[in-house]
Amino acid sequence: MNLKTIPSEVWQRLRNVALKAKRNGRSVRRVVDNTFYQHIYSQWGKGKVNYTHNIDTKMDPGWETLVREWNIIQDTGRSMGKVIKDHSIGYAGVQKDSGWSDEALRMARLWEHYNDNIMQDRFQFVVNMGGGMVLFNRMRRACQTYIIEQLQRDPRKFVVSGWKVFGESAAIGRCDSCVVYLTCKYDDPKLKNFINTYLVKHIKDLWDTNFIPLGMYQIGSYPLWAMRMPRPGKEWQVLGEKSGGSAGGLMSAIIGEAFERAIHAADQSGRELYLFEIKKEAQKIVNQLYL
């Protein structure tokens, strides 16, 4: 987690929330955790990305239909190529909040999975046009072509274990239009090769080059933002919970625990809760996670 990309106003807002939670006898860690995830991280893109819809009259037409079709492929348990009867490699996946309402379909995320290798890091990016259907097809083309041309159709060798794309409705205001899960570190030369030779040429006209998400590391000079993920078991050891690969979940847990520790230390010494003390505790936790 890159603490340098979290502005002072965010820390100050959370400090006020933490002190109020303490006065009301509530769990500082949980209140700060929830506030950061629900009201800051998840909405960080609002007003910062000027998004242009694919079609003026309707947002991402066809997305709901594609979600249903992708779900059928997923339910077969067979590879995409065998179901679609083409050269597709990997497996389809659908992530919905609940049910099959129109809202659930609009907010669904579509996946492609390539291998079950252990996830090490992840990266994400935001687009200011071409979200949803367009981005989904571009990601498919970039990844499928790379596996076929560079990996001799063997997805086990791919540094990308899978990715998900949000529909236009789901992505508005978020800090991610697409999330890519890695079986390597975000600065691995193999990942750079995929990005430089295939990913960039397929999506560079879509991504937003100005938006900077919270808590992440930039990959090269591209508007691709990575999150280092702790080794399996390390999160539970340090934080007592697991984020399941969620960048927002991991950051929220780190920041919530940092405020809990900082408030406890301030109470013990009879001092005021200072921002530099909170940041210091957060850095300690980050160091513990990645040892």
The answer to whether 60 and 70 have CB atoms below 8 angstroms apart is: no
pTM: 0.93
Give the span between the Cα atoms of 219 and 262, in whole angstroms. Answer: 32
Domains of the chain by residue range: 3-44+232-289, 63-212
Which residues are within 8 A (CB) of 252 and not within 5 positions of it... i.e. 6 or more apart?
32, 33, 34, 36, 37, 41
Q: Phi-psi category of 138—alpha, beta or left, where left has phi over 0 and alpha has psi -120 to 50?
A: alpha
Place 11 in a pLDDT band, splitting at 50, 70 and 90: very high
The per-residue pLDDT for 98 is 81
Q: How far is CA 187 from CA 144, 191, 194, 225, in A?
A: 22, 7, 12, 11
| Phi, psi dihedral angles at 15 (to 5 degrees) | -60, -45
Task: Give the tens place of pLDDT for each residue, 140-188.
Answer: 999 999 999 999 999 999 999 999 999 988 877 788 999 999 999 999 9
Write the DSSP string, 180-244: EEESS-TT-HHHHHHIIIIIHHHHTTTB-SS---TT-EE-TTSS-EEEE-PPTTHHHHHHSS--T
The per-residue pLDDT for 57 is 66
Residue whose token pair is 């890695």: 182
Give percent of the chain above pLDDT 70: 99
Structure tokens at 97: 């909040």
**Of the candidates 162, 149, 65, which has an alpha carbon nearest to the alpha carbon of residue 106?**
65
Question: Mean pLDDT across the stretch 25-29?
Answer: 96
Task: Give the tens place of pLDDT for each residue, 35-77.
Answer: 999 999 988 988 898 888 877 767 788 899 999 999 999 999 9
Task: Give the tens place of pLDDT for each residue, 103-126.
Answer: 889 889 999 999 999 999 999 999
- Whether 8 has a pLDDT exceeding 90, the answer reads yes
57-65's contacts with Cβ under 8 Å and 24+ in sequence apart are 59/106, 59/132, 59/168, 59/169, 60/106, 60/131, 60/132, 60/133, 60/167, 60/168, 60/169, 62/133, 63/105, 63/106, 63/108, 63/132, 63/133, 63/167, 63/168, 63/169, 64/102, 64/105, 64/106
Secondary structure (3-state) at 245: coil
Residue whose token pair is 């030779």: 197
| Phi, psi dihedral angles at 217 (to 5 degrees) | -110, 135
